[in-house]
């Protein structure tokens, strides 16, 4: 893959936490590890913000930490020091929340959306049943969210590795506004 084809990927700490150890036979851990190393092999970049870095530091496994060091060593870390706050998104998610638990879950992941908007609009996360659906609902009201791509490396049917190898294209069926 050429440098021009590289994409900046916002990778949620849920993926970093799930990688476990290379000796761990759990399918989720294996798929997440394979995905991270495919990101490296394909030449994509890891997006980090202060908030995302803090989450990774709290939750990453030893393998994810080693992978992150490799990404830094190869200068494949895309650092965003200050992410613009997307107030309309915060207000919409606050309004759409059905209770404080849902609001808390949504607010936790808004930083991923803000980072994706500041980068190449790609989020990698295991959080399908909550955050992905919440943001897909919000995309009905906020055009800015419609083209955010959300990929879950733990779902074999999403063919995440093939997607990476193809240059992480703008597949419509992966976009929040069309899922």
Q: Is 122 helix (H, G, I), strand (E, B) or coil?
A: strand
Q: 176 near 132, Cβ under 8 Å?
A: yes
Q: 46 near 80, Cβ under 8 Å?
A: no
In the block, which residue shows the tokens 């870095």? Answer: 53
How many domains, in total, are found in the chain? Answer: 1
Separation of alpha carbons 31 and 48, rounded Å: 22
> By residue range, what is the domain housing residue 105?
3-178
pLDDT digit of tens for each residue in the chain (179 aa)?
A: 444 589 999 999 999 999 876 666 789 999 999 999 999 999 999 999 999 999 999 999 999 999 999 999 999 999 999 998 889 989 988 888 888 888 888 888 899 999 999 999 999 999 876 788 888 988 998 999 999 999 999 999 999 999 999 999 999 999 999 87
Cβ atoms within 10 Å, residue 72: 13
CATH number at residue 117: 3.40.50
CA proximity to 76, closest of 36, 125, 16 = 36
Residue 30, Cα to own-chain centre: how many angstroms? 17
Question: 158-167 as b/e, with b when 16 or more CB fall inside 10 Å?
Answer: bebbebbeeb
Residue 23 has what pLDDT? 62
Residue 131 has what pLDDT? 82
pTM of the model: 0.92
Residue 125 has what pLDDT? 96
Separation of alpha carbons 16 and 126, rounded Å: 10
Separation of alpha carbons 46 and 68, rounded Å: 8
């Amino acid at each position: 893959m050429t440098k021009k084809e590289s994409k900046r990927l916002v990778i949620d700490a849920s993926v970093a936490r799930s990688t476990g150890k290379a000796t761990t036979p759990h399918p989720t851990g294996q798929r997440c590890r394979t995905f991270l190393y495919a990101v490296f092999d394909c030449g994509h970049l890891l997006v980090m913000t202060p908030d995302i870095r803090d989450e990774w530091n709290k939750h990453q496994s030893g393998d994810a930490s080693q992978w992150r060091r490799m990404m830094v060593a190869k200068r494949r870390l895309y650092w965003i020091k200050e992410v613009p706050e997307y107030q309309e998104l915060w207000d919409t998610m606050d309004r759409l929340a059905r209770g404080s638990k849902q609001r808390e879950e949504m607010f936790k992941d808004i930083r991923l959306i803000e980072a994706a908007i500041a980068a190449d609009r790609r989020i990698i996360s295991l959080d399908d049943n909550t955050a992905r659906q919440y943001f897909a609902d919000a995309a009905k009201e906020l055009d800015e969210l419609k083209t955010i791509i959300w990929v879950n490396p733990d779902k074999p049917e999403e063919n995440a590795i093939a997607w990476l190898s193809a240059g992480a294209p703008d597949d419509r069926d992966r976009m929040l506004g069309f899922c």
